[in-house]
Structure formats: structure tokens, C-alpha cells
Amino acid sequence: MDVFEGKALRPMLIGKEGRPFDSGDYLYELKFDGERCLAYLDGSGTTLVNRQGGKVLQKVPELASLHRQASQKCILDGELVVAESGISGFEQMKQRWLTSNKAKIEILSKKVPVTFIAFDILYLQNDMLMDRELLERKILLEKALVENERLSVSKYIEKRGTEFFELASRKGLEGIVGKKMDSKYYPGRRTANWIKIKNIQDDDFVVCGYLKKLNHIISLVLGQYGPTGRLLYMGRATLRESQEDFSVIEGQKRTERQPFEEKLPDGMRNIVWIEPRLVCRVEFLNRTPGGGIRQPVYKGLRLDKKPREAVLPAPRSSRG
């Protein structure tokens, strides 16, 4: 069966993480914070297939006419994103993905529209392109599509990965991906020729409580002081019960009341609340619109810091 008709390809996956670097053998593009997807476009319509092989166009009906932007029958690799001032919005994309009610999907398709950002082309008018070099595929991708508000082609630069990463970091983006310009495309496999370079952030947080979970895992409840001086819930980070830091945390004075005024997420019923006197350092990927943290990693207590020094940063400007 023709690979287009079978619609059974899986995306090639990033196989390495690294630090920013420059190389004449690589091109660099933004790492998007959305849902990976393959788009099958021809005269009869648009089919979107996710990493697990599921057809997902019903989730994003605003993309039903993507095929009209392609000059020929093709298979694209890309990302579904919700763009907020040029920055992909993970929380809004998650809302779109979790919505199953048809009427709500229709409303969200207008209120929070999704864009398909294409960064590779695997098939063009009956020709398989996966054995061709990435740079050649990039050129064919740009020629095959006409961009509009629902379809964009990922921009890239050559050689200057460090400079590009610094630009992405200043804008609060997730990071970049370095790809060898001569790399082939191996569907469903991880490749060391694609290198993820994350924009890891860190900050200080107040330890407000903890939850003992299975396998001696501890979930710490984190807060920061907001502009009005109130302690705000920022999320949770994990550490092991055997870590020396936990003996310090567990030795803090307990309290019956949680220190936050806002309503907390589900799953907080069995938290052991402590007086908010300890500060810890946490690394994380980025912040939600409300200031919460994504993919937090506990790095240790900051015994040199006072709780009032753990302050929620002012919102980042989207300009420059």
C-alpha cells in the first residue's frame, strides 16, 4: 500500500539533549510547545495523525482546509500550537486537546485557534523524500506550501546555534533544536542527529508542605510571594525521602491551615502543611500564564534565603 494511503508513519524523534553550540553542519529552529502531528494533504482533504497513530482533525476543525495551501499531494511533519503573541501556549493547547464535546470544540476553534507549524516534508506527489538530506527537504517544504494564519513553515538559521538559543531564551521560549543538515528521516525512531536544547529556568520557592507518595517519593508544595504580599501556589516538585533535605523539611513546625488564599488543585487533600519558613531552588521549563511552573526539578534548600525573598517575577514582556 502507498505510504500516503496507509497513513501509518510515525514521527522521527529527538535522540539527544545538549547545550547551545555552533556548527556549520547544523541548522537550528525553535522547539515548539504543542502537539506533534503528521499532516496528509491532497485534493480530497486533510488528515492529521498524532504520535500514537490517532486521527485528530475532529479536535481542530479549523485546520480542515490545510490541503488547499499545498501545491501537491504531500506528507508534512510538524506541530500543532496555539500562538500567544508569537509564543506557543501549552496550557491553551492542552485545553484544546482535552476537550471532547463537539459544541465546545467548535467554540474553541474560533476563540483559541490552532496553527500547524510544518518543519519537514516526507512525501511529495508520489515521491518519498525521507532518504534525502534535511536541507533539501527544507527547500522542497517551502516550495510546496503557501502559508496562511493556520499554516506556517518553521523558520531556521544555519551555523549560529548559540546566538539563536539566546534569542529564544530572551523571549521566554521553550528552546531550540539543532538538526544535522545532511540527516535522513527515519520514521518512528530516535536520532542523535537532532539535538534538543532546552531553555531551563530556575528560581527560589517557599516550601509550604509535602505529600508522601509511593516508593519513598516526596512531593513538595511550592509558593512564591505575589505583588500584594500574599503567598501564591506555584506547583509541586519531587524529591526522595532518603535525601538529606527532607529531614530538615519534615522537622519544620506543622500547621493545620494551608497558607494560600486561592482554591488549590485536586489531589491536595493529604498534604502535610508546614510553616512557610524554608526556601528551595527549583529548575523548570517555563511558567504557565498564572505563573505556575512546568516540569519542575528540585535542586536543594536555600538556607541563605528568607521566605520573603522568594517573589513571583513580573510578567515577561513579549516584545524584543
HEC assignment per residue over the chain: CCHHHHCCCCCCEEEEECCCCCEEEEEEEECCCCEEEEEEEECCEEEEEECCCCECHHHCHHHCCHHHHECCCEEEEEEEECEECCEECHHHHHHHHHCCCHHHHHHHHHHCCCEEEEEEEEEECCEECCCCCHHHHHHHHHHHECCECCEEECCEEEECHHHHHHHHHHCCCCEEEEEECCCCCCCCCEEEEEEEEECCEEEEEEEEEEEECHHHEEEEEEEEECCCCCEEEEEEEEEECCCHHHHHHHCCCECCCCCCCCCCCCCCCCCEEEEEEEEEEEEECCECCCCCECCCEEEEECCCCCHHHCECCCCCCCCC
Q: Are residues 10 and 147 in the same domain?
A: yes
CA distance 33 to 50: 15
Question: What's residue 243's pLDDT?
Answer: 79
Which residue in 69, 39, 66, 42 sits closest to 55, CA to CA?
39
146-170 pLDDT per residue, tens:
999 999 999 999 999 999 999 998 8
For the segment 246-257, the average pLDDT, to the nearest whole number, is 94
pLDDT above 80 for 24: yes
Q: Are residues 187 and 232 in the same domain?
A: no
Question: What's residue 319's pLDDT?
Answer: 34
Q: In the listed set 146, 172, 198, which residue is the last one of a domain according to the structure?
A: 198
Which residues form the domain of 27?
3-198
Question: What's residue 141's pLDDT?
Answer: 98
Q: What is the mean pLDDT of the chain?
A: 91
Q: Are residues 158 and 64 in the same domain?
A: yes
Q: Are residues 248 and 115 in the same domain?
A: no
Q: Are residues 150 and 295 in the same domain?
A: no
More confident residue, 205 or 32: 205
For residue 43, is it within any domain?
A: yes
For the segment 11-19, the average pLDDT, to the nearest whole number, is 93
Q: Are residues 194 and 240 in the same domain?
A: no
Whose cell is 539543532? That residue is 178
For residue 274, is it within any domain?
A: yes
Question: What's residue 5's pLDDT?
Answer: 92
Of 41-50, 229-238, 295-304, the poorest mean pLDDT is in 295-304
The CA-based angle 285-289-290, given to 5 degrees, is 105
For the segment 244-256, the average pLDDT, to the nearest whole number, is 93
Which residue in 139, 37, 13, 42 sits closest to 93, CA to CA?
37
Question: What's residue 87's pLDDT?
Answer: 52
Question: What's residue 54's pLDDT?
Answer: 93
Question: What's residue 226's pLDDT?
Answer: 92
87-129 pLDDT per residue, tens:
556 778 878 888 889 999 999 999 999 999 999 999 999 999 9
Question: What's residue 103's pLDDT?
Answer: 96
Q: In the listed set 149, 182, 198, which residue is the last one of a domain according to the structure?
A: 198
pLDDT above 60 for 56: yes
Cα 10 to its chain centre, rounded Å, is: 19
Which residue in 233, 208, 211 sits closest to 293, CA to CA?
233
271-319 pLDDT per residue, tens:
999 999 999 999 998 888 778 898 899 999 998 889 999 999 876 443 3
- The neighbour count for residue 258, using CB atoms within 10 Å, is 17
Q: Are residues 285 and 150 in the same domain?
A: no
Whose cell is 509541586? That residue is 236
CATH number of residue 268's parent domain = 2.40.50.140
User: Is-contact 81 114, C-beta < 8 A?
Assistant: yes
User: Is-contact 156 138, C-beta < 8 A?
Assistant: yes
pLDDT above 70 for 18: yes
169-199 pLDDT per residue, tens:
888 788 999 999 999 999 999 999 999 998 8
For residue 48, is it within any domain?
A: yes
Question: What's residue 282's pLDDT?
Answer: 94
For residue 275, is it within any domain?
A: yes
Q: Are residues 192 and 44 in the same domain?
A: yes
In single-letter form, the type of residue at position 34 comes to: G
Q: In the listed set 198, 231, 264, which residue is the last one of a domain according to the structure?
A: 198
For residue 315, is it within any domain?
A: no
pLDDT above 80 for 39: yes
User: Is-contact 249 182, C-beta < 8 A?
Assistant: no
Strand partners, 190: 13
Of 36-40, 105-109, 124-128, 213-217, the poorest mean pLDDT is in 213-217
Q: Are residues 174 and 75 in the same domain?
A: yes
- The neighbour count for residue 188, using CB atoms within 10 Å, is 11
pLDDT above 90 for 215: no
For residue 317, is it within any domain?
A: no
Question: What's residue 88's pLDDT?
Answer: 54
For residue 319, is it within any domain?
A: no
CATH number of residue 96's parent domain = 3.30.470.30
How many domains are there within the chain? 2
For residue 247, is it within any domain?
A: yes
Q: Are residues 70 and 187 in the same domain?
A: yes
Q: Are residues 224 and 144 in the same domain?
A: no
Q: Are residues 49 and 177 in the same domain?
A: yes
Q: What is the pTM assigned to this prediction?
A: 0.76
